[in-house]
Amino acid sequence: MMITPENLYKKRREFLKLGVGALLSPALVEAKLLELDFKTDESAKDLKLSDEKLATTYVNFYEFSVNKKEAVERAKNFTTKDWEVTISGEVEQPLKLNMQDFLAFPLEERIYRFRCVETWSMVVPWVGFELRHLIEKVKPTSEARFVKFTTLLDKQRFPDQNALFPSLKYPYVEALRLDEAMNPLSILAVGMYKKPLLAQNGAPIRLVVPWKYGFKSIKSIVKIEFVKEQPISTWQAYAPDEYGFYANVNPKVSHPRWSQADERALGEFFTKPTLLFNGYEKEVAHLYDGMDLKVNF
Ligand SMILES: Nc1nc2c(c(=O)[nH]1)N[C@H]1C(S)=C(S)[C@@H](COP(=O)(O)O)O[C@H]1N2
Ligand SMILES: [Mo]
């Protein structure tokens, strides 16, 4: 029998109906992603998608390497079999979820601008689901104020974690304020360009927060914790005067080494002005009412 995404998807549904956990093969993930309706939102209409090849090869993933080319090369043998994410801390319903569980969330395509602090930018069609759906499931207690994310720590699979002088303090950690995490723009992504995430882009599951600099969008997540105190993120710990907790895209707040006023989209020659909150001011500015964005950078 020829295996098409269509009948793979049906098969998976049959498995689920029987209550038998089907093994999540890459083909099944792909089937699930391909079956999505192409959902474009009005705000995304004026956005030109970045070239897929560029978006999947011009990457930052220090656990593999600080060098973009080398990171892609070293990501080739990375497997995500039996991946699990533990969700714990200040919640009524702690959970341990596998990728099958994540694919049961309402997946949708989201076309977002993405802006790295290194001043390059791209427009990516992510596939994922709103983080708030997961948050609603685990029911944070009244003590929960921040959501902390942690990337896999595995010296065998991540060469830089095994280096004599690792580039960062691992595991990579990031966090959002609970209300930022609940914003409908915050997603957990499992795919890009209608395909499962490639290892170098943060397979099998990563955060995407489009109004913040790229380093907030933590890759290959294994732990999500709800906490009382504001966590210190990896880049903040590395250089607190360069990388703030909030890291909201802001053309008026320069990084010591890079003016953030302009950006260059992948594949383009000319630069263009960077937008406050990366163009998502309408959706997120209210989260920072009364805050001095120069102090809380
Ligand atoms: N675990 C982990 N997550 C990470 C990084 C990293 O080095 N390790 N790099 C960050 C940075 S600086 C950026 S710009 C984005 C890049 O995502 P992309 O490579 O998929 O474009 O991932 C972010 N998430
Ligand atoms: Mo970045």
Model confidence pLDDT, tens digit, residues 256-265:
888 999 999 9
Return the ligand number nearest the Cα of 260.
2
- How confident is the model over 93-97, as a mean pLDDT? 98
Which amino acid belongs to residue 44? A
- Crossing angle, helix 5-18 and helix 26-34, to 10 degrees? 110
Answer yes or no: is pLDDT of 18 > 50. Answer: no
63 labeled part of a ligand binding site: yes
Assign 40 a pLDDT band (cuts: 50, 70, 90).
Answer: low
Answer yes or no: is pLDDT of 187 > 60. Answer: yes
- How remote is the CA of residue 162 from the centroid of ligand 1, in Å? 19
Residue 235 CA, closest ligand 1 atom number = 12
Measured CA to CA, the distance from residue 80 to residue 76 in angstroms comes to 12
Which amino acid belongs to residue 6? E
The DSSP letter of residue 65 is B
The most distant pair of C-alpha atoms in the chain lies apart, rounded to whole Å, by 62
Measured CA to CA, the distance from residue 195 to residue 193 in angstroms comes to 6
Q: Give the CA-trace dihedral at 163, 245, 214, 234, to 10 degrees.
A: 10
Higher-pLDDT residue of 100, 8 = 100
- How remote is the CA of residue 207 from the centroid of ligand 1, in Å? 10
pLDDT at 24: 56
Assign 31 a pLDDT band (cuts: 50, 70, 90).
Answer: confident
- How remote is the CA of residue 256 from the centroid of ligand 2, in Å? 15
Q: Helix or strand or coil: residue 170?
A: coil
Q: Which residue's alpha carbon is nearest to atom 4 within ligand 1?
A: 218
Which residue among 54, 61, 195 has the greatest number of ligand 1 atoms within 8 angstroms of its CB, and so is best to mutate? 61
- How confident is the model over 56-77, as a mean pLDDT? 98
What average pLDDT is seen over the chain? Answer: 91
Q: How far is C-alpha 150 from the geometric centre of its chain's CA atoms? A: 12
